Amino acid sequence: MQMIYIWINCHTQALADEIAEELLEARLIAAANRYPAIASRYRWEGEVHTRDEVPLLLKTRAELFARVKEEVHRLHPYKTPSVQAQQVADVDPQYLAWIYEQTEEA
């Protein structure tokens, strides 16, 4: 059993909430944390851009990453949304069991 965090930047709080709600309803994630807006700077199509973005942290099982990524690409308006997964090395066994209970099997 392996848990991952998935980090996504959204252009609005509403989008972050929509993604979280859709993924929770589909049982692809167990929980989501929406953070306050941050200032992002990035290069896109040869130019440097600055924009406020809303970080969204998703908690799920590792084997669901491909399906989560697919849904995020469906819901997110960015041509290339940032969808990054990180394995969680140490997890309280009770919390990990809860993650698995709240999500469907891949």
pLDDT, tens digit, 9 for 90 and up, residues 49-98: 999 999 999 999 999 999 999 999 999 999 999 999 999 999 999 999 99
Domain ranges for the chain: 3-102
pLDDT for 106 = 62
Phi-psi region of 52 (alpha: psi -120 to 50; beta: other; left: phi over 0): beta
- Candidates 49, 52, 51; CA nearest to 13 is 52
Q: Does domain 3-102 have CATH number 3.30.70.120?
A: yes
Stated pTM of the model: 0.94
**Across the strands, what pairs with 66?**
none
